């Protein structure tokens, strides 16, 4: 049976979603997984809050830049998965709630990288839309987002996804680190997808699996955080 590490970088910015996230983790039905959260808050208060929900957590480094904090924490999880014999790392961010049987469903596809659907608000010009964080194709400067008509159509090969709910095999982890480009605005999810493409690793989404994304009552905005 495949051994899976489940976790994510987190911080006190996500305290609003902790209770629901803890319930979702404890509801997962796959029998062979471990949990680890990496808290990169400035102090230990949020780590103690996470521990009060009986969730395994360690401290990650704090940097002024959110991207530096997140990537350092995610690479701690990557290294743990590689060093301790895990077959997969399931990156499940703290504001994403999956169905309980998501790991069983992912493993049935026998893919080395597979994600599920979750929605976010995406703004282009003056228009804001609620869309899945899945890009099916990249063509020069254009990115094509998964269309509503492509939902509930089973397995689909894609170009880019977020890291909010993604199962990554150890062979991918051994070759691709989480990173970003300081001169660009994108986070590590974009560069992870691009680096996988450079290494000829195929990327898939199960369009039948939709996760809840806890953004409606989020008490802050990414635009207000130093990246």
| Dihedral sign (CA 15, 21, 26, 31) | negative
pLDDT at 217: 78
Pairing relation of β-strands 113-117 and 165-169?
antiparallel
Return the structure tokens found at 63.
Answer: 């940097």
Task: Determine the length of the chain.
Answer: 227
Summarize pLDDT for 150-184 with one digit per residue, the tens: 999 999 999 989 999 999 999 999 999 999 877 77
Q: What is the mean pLDDT of the chain?
A: 91
Return the structure tokens found at 106.
Answer: 């992912």
d(CA 147, CA 129): 12
pLDDT at 168: 98
d(CA 117, CA 162): 10
Which three-class secondary structure state does DSSP give residue 179?
coil
In degrees, rounded to 5, the angle at the alpha carbon of residue 180 between the alpha carbons of residues 189 and 159 is 35
pLDDT at 120: 86
Return the structure tokens found at 3.
Answer: 């051994």
pLDDT at 222: 53
Given a cut of 70, the residues of the chain with pLDDT beneath it are: 123-125, 127, 139-143, 185, 219-227
Q: Which residues contact 80 (CB under 8 A, 6 or more apart)?
A: 5, 36, 86
CATH architecture, range 4-224? Alpha-Beta Complex (3.90)
- Picking from 40, 52, 37, the residue whose alpha carbon sits closest to that of residue 12 is 40
Summarize pLDDT for 28-49 with one digit per residue, the tens: 999 999 999 999 999 999 999 9
């Amino acid at each position: 049976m495949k051994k899976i590490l489940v976790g994510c970088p987190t911080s006190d910015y996500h305290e609003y979603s902790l209770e629901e996230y803890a319930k979702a983790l404890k509801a997962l039905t796959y029998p062979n997984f471990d949990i680890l959260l990496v808290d990169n808050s400035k102090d230990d208060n949020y780590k103690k809050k996470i521990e009060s929900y009986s969730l395994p957590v360690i401290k990650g480094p704090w940097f002024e830049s959110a991207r530096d904090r997140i990537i350092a924490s995610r690479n701690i999880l990557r290294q743990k998965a590689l060093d301790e014999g895990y077959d997969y790392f399931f990156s499940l961010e703290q504001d994403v709630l999956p169905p309980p049987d998501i790991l069983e469903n992912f493993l049935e596809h026998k893919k080395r990288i597979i994600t599920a659907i979750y929605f976010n608000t995406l703004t282009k010009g003056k228009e804001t839309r609620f869309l899945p964080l899945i890009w099916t194709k990249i063509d020069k400067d254009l990115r094509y987002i998964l269309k509503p008509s492509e939902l509930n159509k089973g397995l689909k090969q894609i170009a880019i996804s977020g890291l909010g709910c993604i199962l990554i095999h150890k062979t991918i982890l051994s070759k691709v680190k989480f990173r970003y480009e300081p001169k660009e605005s994108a986070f590590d999810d974009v560069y992870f997808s691009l680096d996988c493409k450079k290494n000829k690793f195929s990327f898939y989404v199960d369009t039948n699996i939709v996760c809840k994304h806890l953004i409606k009552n989020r008490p802050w905005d990414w635009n207000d955080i130093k990246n």
